[in-house]
């Protein structure tokens, strides 16, 4: 049996192999270029994100500064309003002599602008010393928060008017039992009242209050 030699194979690459190598090399170059472009894009996105964060921080800081400036301006405006607005005080003044001695209550405008007095309410109560005073007694419909006098009073700065008065003869000429309790210290005379007025600058309705023990004031001569 005769075995013939196999034919020799040629190691020389033909054009198809060369083309395949060229395409593979081109794909490698394209991949490298794509990676470089992606890295550049990521770097640009990161840089843009950092700039946006810086801008957001700057805007936040500017907003805080603007808010502080606005608050300062508001406080300054409020301070100006408070300095120029009317301020009503209820001032007691002793009046009369002997049995007709009493107290006159004047509402005085201590502010720098006129005040419009729209209503008021006063009443005296005689609770026992062991009793608690009411938060605010009933002053009548004309003294309600939504009530207003037909003819309001205007008070210029440092101007005043008599808001109410009290005379101890009202007690001495009244109930004998009440008078005895007042004399022996079981009861007390408390005057409670208010003057409601409108701020002519802000148009806000304000209220001046007073609550005072009258018998002690009269006996001590403190007014």
Domain holding 102: CATH number? 2.60.40
Q: Residue 160: which H helix or E strand, with range?
A: strand 160-167
Q: How far is CA 84 from CA 54, 110, 114, in A?
A: 45, 10, 10
- Tell me the longest C-alpha to C-alpha distance in the chain: 166
Within this chain, do residues 122 and 152 fall inside the same structural domain, yes or no?
yes
* Domain around 183: 88-220
Q: How far is CA 30 from CA 23, 37, 41, 44, 173, in A?
A: 10, 10, 16, 21, 116
Residue 178 domain-assigned (yes or no): yes
Within this chain, do residues 70 and 44 fall inside the same structural domain, yes or no?
yes
The contacts of residue 186 (CB under 8 Å, 6+ apart) are 128, 129
pLDDT tens digits, one per residue of 127-174:
877 777 767 788 888 899 999 999 999 999 999 999 998 877 776 666
Within this chain, do residues 214 and 178 fall inside the same structural domain, yes or no?
yes
Of 85, 174, 83, give the one whose Cα is nearest residue 124: 174
Residue 154 domain-assigned (yes or no): yes
Within this chain, do residues 201 and 123 fall inside the same structural domain, yes or no?
yes
Within this chain, do residues 117 and 190 fall inside the same structural domain, yes or no?
yes
Is the pLDDT at 4 greater than 60, yes or no? Answer: no
Average pLDDT over residues 174-184: 75
Q: Which residue has the tokens 């005057």?
A: 191
């Amino acid at each position: 049996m005769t075995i013939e030699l196999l034919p020799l194979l040629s190691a020389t690459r033909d054009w198809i192999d060369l083309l395949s190598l060229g395409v593979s090399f081109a794909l490698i170059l394209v991949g490298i270029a794509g990676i470089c472009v992606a890295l550049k894009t990521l770097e640009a996105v990161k840089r843009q994100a950092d700039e946006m964060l810086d801008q957001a921080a700057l805007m936040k800081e500017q907003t805080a500064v603007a808010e502080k400036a606005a608050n300062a301006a508001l406080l300054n405006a409020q301070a100006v309003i408070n300095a120029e607005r009317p301020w009503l005080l209820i001032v007691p003044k002793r009046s009369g002599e002997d049995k007709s001695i009493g107290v006159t209550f004047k509402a005085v405008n201590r502010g720098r602008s006129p005040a419009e007095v729209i209503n008021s309410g006063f009443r005296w109560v005689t609770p026992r010393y062991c009793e608690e005073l009411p938060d605010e007694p009933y002053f009548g419909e004309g003294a309600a928060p939504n009530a207003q006098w037909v003819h309001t009073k205007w008070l210029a700065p440092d101007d005043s008017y008599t808001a109410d008065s009290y005379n101890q003869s009202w007690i001495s000429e009244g109930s004998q039992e009440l008078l005895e309790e007042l004399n022996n210290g079981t009861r007390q005379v408390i005057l409670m009242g208010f003057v409601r007025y409108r701020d002519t600058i802000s148009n806000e309705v304000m209220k001046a209050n007073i609550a005072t023990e009258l018998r002690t004031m009269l006996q001590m001569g403190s007014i």
